[in-house]
């Protein structure tokens, strides 16, 4: 029997085409290749947050997701692993990227294997993964793989690019280890978090 795992890519770039999406695609491709080498089939979903910018704002205001955004949230929270990539804006993740993680249920990514990656114009932002993304995913109790991937503009057109390829390989391997081992997507629950609470009732007694 073939094993199938669900992998979700969340890309927070704004321009089109964006280097954030380029990095996201490379990470996804390498991870999928690593998993298929191990005989694991991958059901891949790529989420371009830009396409849901309006719905994200609406959800922040109304508290509920549009049907399109709800499907996106389910594809991410119900995955076996997430590749999360954001550009650096004002020394941190982009507001759009943060908005997505603000509207999902805080418990929905518990134990989720996450590969955190960042793009920036200059290498001086390289600590953003460690001072912004890791704390965010620590709060969400996700499991971030040890290798974070940072790509500055230079990495796309110099000898440094070889090092980027090495980092991508290593990070993808670390994510693949965890995605292969988890059975998260088989346990996916109600997006409202309702079923789990409701089914927990053994009865009720006041006081």
Binding site for other proteins (CB under 8 A): 57-58, 60-64, 66-67, 192, 194, 197-198, 201, 204, 206-207
Specify the residue, 66 or 188, whose C-beta has the smaller distance to other proteins.
Answer: 66
Specify the residue, 64 or 139, whose C-beta has the smaller distance to other proteins.
Answer: 64
Specify the residue, 166 or 198, whose C-beta has the smaller distance to other proteins.
Answer: 198
Give the shortest CB-85-to-other proteins separation in angstroms: 27
Kindly list the distances between the CA atom of residue 150 and the CA atoms of 4, 50, 84, 120, 185, in Å, as whole numbers in the listed order.
Answer: 29, 21, 12, 8, 28
Give the shortest CB-139-to-other proteins separation in angstroms: 17
CA distance 103 to 17: 26
Q: Which residues contact 8 (CB under 8 A, 6 or more apart)?
A: 44, 45, 46, 47, 75, 76, 79, 81, 82, 83
Specify the residue, 15 or 196, whose C-beta has the smaller distance to other proteins.
Answer: 196
Give the shortest CB-27-to-other proteins separation in angstroms: 32
The residue assigned the tokens 């805080």 is 106
Give the shortest CB-204-to-other proteins separation in angstroms: 5
């Amino acid at each position: 029997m073939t094993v199938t795992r669900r992998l979700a890519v969340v890309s927070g770039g704004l321009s089109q085409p964006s280097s954030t999406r380029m990095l996201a695609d490379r990470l996804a491709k390498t991870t999928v290749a690593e998993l298929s080498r191990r005989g694991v089939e991958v059901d891949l979903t790529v989420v371009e947050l830009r396409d849901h910018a309006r719905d994200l704002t609406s959800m922040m205001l109304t508290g509920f997701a549009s049907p399109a955004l709800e499907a996106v949230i389910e594809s991410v929270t119900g995955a076996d692993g997430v590749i999360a990539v954001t550009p650096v804006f004002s020394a941190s993740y982009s507001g759009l990227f943060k908005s997505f993680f603000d509207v999902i249920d805080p418990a929905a990514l518990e134990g989720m294997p996450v590969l955190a990656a960042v793009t920036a114009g200059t290498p001086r932002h390289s600590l953003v993964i460690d001072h912004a993304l890791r704390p965010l995913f620590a709060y969400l109790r996700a499991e971030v793989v040890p290798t974070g991937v940072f790509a500055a503009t230079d990495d796309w057109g110099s000898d440094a690019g070889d090092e980027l390829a090495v980092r991508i390989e290593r990070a993808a391997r670390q994510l693949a280890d965890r995605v292969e081992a988890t059975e998260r997507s088989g346990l996916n629950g109600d997006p409202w978090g309702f079923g789990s609470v409701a089914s927990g009732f053994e009865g009720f007694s006041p006081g």
